[in-house]
């Protein structure tokens, strides 16, 4: 999935099964289970250390069952020490996940584009990363090492950590929240590994096209929150209209209709199964 360097891999963030199914139907080759979106949609709370391994694994299981393309899971800090990471990788791989993002923040963590975060010693993170590498059963299970050191230690330290994490065994490196194009270019020139560019609308990093980022040296172009933000915007608009007018007529052309949504959740497939097994006929003959 990440070894083909001829083109960038653009990955959307998803946080539930229906969003994952839509992403697959649109044609995306892989997707990312966002911790930010998981916290927001499960609890209505920010990405501020509120979710744990249980929520992450359960959500991954639902999402992975809904699609056939690879799902890479935001595993935050691993929710503990190296043994916690070892257990988490086993559970996520068993749930059908195809990889993880593992970060070096101190717990409780927070969204990488928020202020107030800090990082653990790189040696402590290396123990977690090594446990993740050892725990995976398939070599195709991707481990992305994320460092948040840019915000606290500076870009030089973040790049140094990225190089160190690559030596430990990470398949890809993610330097979170560079603030300028110049910084992104420096990351691309300094770290010879598959790199992640994190495109958050309104975040700390400038938004650039996939082709531009690929030329800088980035392989994985992540849009983790676009679907979440689009859903929130659409919900706000239609609910305001419903509250104001008592009807949604104004928005009918901006909605999928009843049959279109049934297609998204594969109702025709289940109708065929129902017909094949002949539930109604069998009941009549009993």
Predicted local confidence at residue 3, as pLDDT:
79
> Is 245 domain-assigned?
no
Domain containing residue 269: 256-285
Q: Is the dihedral of CA 214, 220, 223, 227 positive or negative?
A: positive
Predicted local confidence at residue 2, as pLDDT:
79
> Is 280 domain-assigned?
yes
Regarding whether 204 and 157 lie in a shared domain, the answer is yes
Regarding whether 143 and 97 lie in a shared domain, the answer is yes
Q: How far apart are alpha carbons 231 and 254 in whole angstroms?
A: 12
> Is 64 domain-assigned?
yes
Q: Residue 127: enclosing H or E segment and its boundaries?
A: helix 122-135
Predicted local confidence at residue 1, as pLDDT:
80
CATH number for the domain spanning 149: value is 3.20.20.60
Q: How far apart are alpha carbons 145 and 284 in whole angstroms?
A: 58
Regarding whether 114 and 73 lie in a shared domain, the answer is yes
> Is 119 domain-assigned?
yes
SS3 145: strand
Predicted local confidence at residue 283, as pLDDT:
55
> Is 39 domain-assigned?
yes
- 10-residue stretch averages of pLDDT, the chain, 286 residues long: 86 98 98 98 97 98 98 98 98 98 96 94 98 97 98 97 98 98 98 98 97 98 98 98 98 96 96 83 53
Q: How far apart are alpha carbons 162 and 134 in whole angstroms?
A: 19
| C-beta separation of 125 from 165 below 8 A | yes
Regarding whether 168 and 114 lie in a shared domain, the answer is yes
């Amino acid at each position: 999935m990440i070894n083909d360097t001829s083109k960038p891999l653009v990955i959307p963030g998803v946080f539930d099964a229906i969003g994952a199914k839509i992403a697959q139907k649109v044609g995306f080759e892989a997707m990312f289970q966002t911790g930010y979106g998981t916290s927001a949609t499960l609890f209505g709370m920010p990405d501020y250390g509120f979710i744990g391994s249980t929520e992450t694994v359960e959500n991954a299981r639902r999402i992975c069952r809904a699609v056939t393309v690879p799902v890479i899971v935001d595993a935050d800090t691993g929710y503990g020490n190296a043994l916690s990471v070892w257990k988490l990788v086993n559970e996520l791989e068993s749930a059908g996940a195809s990889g993880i993002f593992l970060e070096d923040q101190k717990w409780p963590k927070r969204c990488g584009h928020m202020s107030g975060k800090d990082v653990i010693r790189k040696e402590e993170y290396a123990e977690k990363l090594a446990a993740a590498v050892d725990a995976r059963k398939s070599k195709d299970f991707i481990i992305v090492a994320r460092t948040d050191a840019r915000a606290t230690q500076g870009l030089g330290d973040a790049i140094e950590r990225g190089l160190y994490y690559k030596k430990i065994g990470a398949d890809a490196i993610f330097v979170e929240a560079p603030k300028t194009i110049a910084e992104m270019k420096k990351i691309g020139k300094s770290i010879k590994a598959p790199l992640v560019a994190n495109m958050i609308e309104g975040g700390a990093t400038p938004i650039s096209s996939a082709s531009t980022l690929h030329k800088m040296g980035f392989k994985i172009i992540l849009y983790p929150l676009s679907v979440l933000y689009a859903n929130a915007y659409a919900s706000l608009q239609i609910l305001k209209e419903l509250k104001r007018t008592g009807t949604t007529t104004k928005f009918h052309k901006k909605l999928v209709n009843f049959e279109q949504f049934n297609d998204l959740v594969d109702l025709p497939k289940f109708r065929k199964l129902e017909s094949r097994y002949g539930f109604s006929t069998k009941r009549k003959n009993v």
